[in-house]
Amino acid sequence: MPFVLPSDPVAGATAPASWGDAVRDALNFLANRPACRLTNSTPTPLPHGVVTDLPFNTERYDTDGMHSTTTNTHRIRFNTAGLYLVVGQVTIQQNATGSRALNMDLRGPVSPAATIASVLHTAGSAGFSKRLIVSTVWKFLIGDEVSIAAFQDSGVTLNAEPADAFGYELSATWIGTGNVPT
């Protein structure tokens, strides 16, 4: 259900009964806005030199049917148009060599495929895993999809850590219509 802002009643006139329904519906939408937060409970191998889409097998929450745990598990699909805050993170197992990267990618029936956020870390570490975080505010259309993909070039396969090790997650939260008021 899209967000619909109730129209202003005419000054001095009695508001129609439908106006109260519109206010109630708008408040119900805002109290349960479209949002989705995904994670994965198992490590995901990241081969050397390969950009790897990260799959998600667990939904911490999904208020708008935005994710499937059986089909295209690496994507959030937008069923309600608007501005969203989207955050992706991955923790990549420790290794002293190579770089690490995390991209947030857009796909859609109308929107052209594009990387909409990216982060690169150029030095490995033998003592610590690397956590990469990307975020953006983006105006999505119905049917657009967003995913995250990790890259590493350490010379060996490394793992994207599972959620219980503060591994990887992807979330999207509706924050507004994205319409400019007149």
Q: Give the model's pLDDT for residue 100.
A: 92
* CB of 34 closer than 8 Å to CB of 79: yes
Q: Give the model's pLDDT for residue 6.
A: 67
Say how far apart CA 156 and CA 8 lie, in whole Å: 62
For the chain, list residues with pLDDT below 70. Answer: 1-9, 123-129, 163-166, 180-182
Q: Give the model's pLDDT for residue 181.
A: 58
> What predicted TM-score, i.e. pTM, was given to this entire model?
0.85
Classify domain 34-176 by CATH number: 2.60.120.40
Half-sphere exposure for 78 (CA within 13 Å, toward CB): 28
Q: Give the model's pLDDT for residue 162.
A: 82
